[in-house]
Amino acid sequence: MVLIEGYNFPEELYYHKDHAWAKIESSGNIRVGLDDFYQKSAGDITNIDIPFEGDEISQGETCGRVESEKWLGKLVTPLSGEIIKANEELELDPELINKSPYKKGWIMIVKPSNLVKELKSLLHGENVESWLKKEIVDAEKKKK
């Protein structure tokens, strides 16, 4: 786990610029969730519209909605493929995203359709820190 200006970002994950993360599972499927910056910016998450199992999704597409006490946000998928499992626990307790964004607060599992090509467009390793620092600065500017 890397701590960047107060935000936790596990090193093994891949990140989409719209704050979704992707974890490659041993099965080859991808577990997807929202990163620590997103959940802290949102505040207490009160509702989430989860995509349906069996849906086909495309990288960068909005495939769900997240509501919090502060705002209504979008869930953008980091990779293309078929949703094979949705985290139904989030319907009962959407704050799992706040409490455990990388463990219990995952959103869906995707069978990827173009993994090798699409991973190249995600942020990983050394690229994460500079991107996140820019996101923090941009967020601060919006508050003013």
Enumerate domains of the chain plus CATH numbers: 13-118 (2.40.50.100)
How confident is the model over 16-75, as pLDDT tens digits? 999 999 999 999 999 999 999 999 999 999 999 988 999 999 999 999 999 998 889 999
Decide: 54 and 41 in contact? Cβ < 8 Å. no
Rounded to two decimals, what is the model's pTM? 0.94
Provide the pLDDT for residue 50.
84
Band of residue 144 on the pLDDT scale cut at 50, 70, 90: low
How confident is the model over 61-113, as pLDDT tens digits? 999 999 998 889 999 999 999 999 999 999 899 999 999 999 999 999 999 99
> Is 80 exceeded by the pLDDT of residue 143?
no
> Is 90 exceeded by the pLDDT of residue 1?
no
Percent of the chain's residues with pLDDT above 90: 88
Percent of the chain's residues with pLDDT above 70: 99
